[in-house]
Amino acid sequence: MKAIAIAASLIAGHAAVAADCTADRLTVAGGFGQATFDVRIADDDAEREQGLMNVESMGTLEGMLFVYDTEGPASFWMENTLIPLDLLFADATGTIVTIHPDAVPMDRTPIPGGDRVKFVLEVNGGLAQRLGVAVGDAFRHPAVGEGAALPCD
């Protein structure tokens, strides 16, 4: 009977992970535990160019996920961005390679993410530190796909 309860618990846990693996949800997991964000996706040039410009506020566990076709160098700026943001840059496996905390609203100074960036998650400024997110933590999201450090299934 105990074995059945353990198996049911594992299956339920797997179902919860699978349920969170949808285009509008991204989980960051690492030594701190995990946090799941409701995300908007920017996966073409026009959406990436617009980003979160002119957004006046964002819920605590909301963000925007930028998805690039290939891994490469990435740099952001905060032109016309009204709220402070943390930028979490990740490689093709979804592993965070750079965190830029508290990007200053309206600042045009380039924010380099590194040479191996395929994903960038923007969340409210200061949130990454409050949660304990660190370089080496990883994203779980369907866009990460094959080779993901934290696969959906």
Q: CA 22, 28, 29, 30: dihedral to nearest 10 degrees?
A: 160
pTM for the model stands at 0.87
Task: Provide the pLDDT for residue 2.
Answer: 34
- Give me the residue label for tokens 């530190």: 129
Domains, the chain: 2-140 (2.60.120.1140)
Per-residue pLDDT of the chain (153 residues; tens, 9 = 90+): 333 333 333 333 333 444 579 999 999 999 999 999 999 999 999 999 999 999 999 999 999 999 999 999 999 999 999 999 999 999 999 999 999 999 999 999 999 999 999 999 999 999 999 999 999 999 999 999 999 999 998
- What's the per-residue H, E or C state across the chain? CHHHHHHHHHHHHHHHHHHHCCCCEEEEEECCEEEEEEEEEECCHHHHHHCCCCCCCCCCCEEEEEEEEEEEEEEECCCCCCCCEEEEEECCCCEEEEEEEEECCCCCCCEEEEEEEEEEEEEECCHHHHHCCCCCCEEECCCCCCCCCCCCC
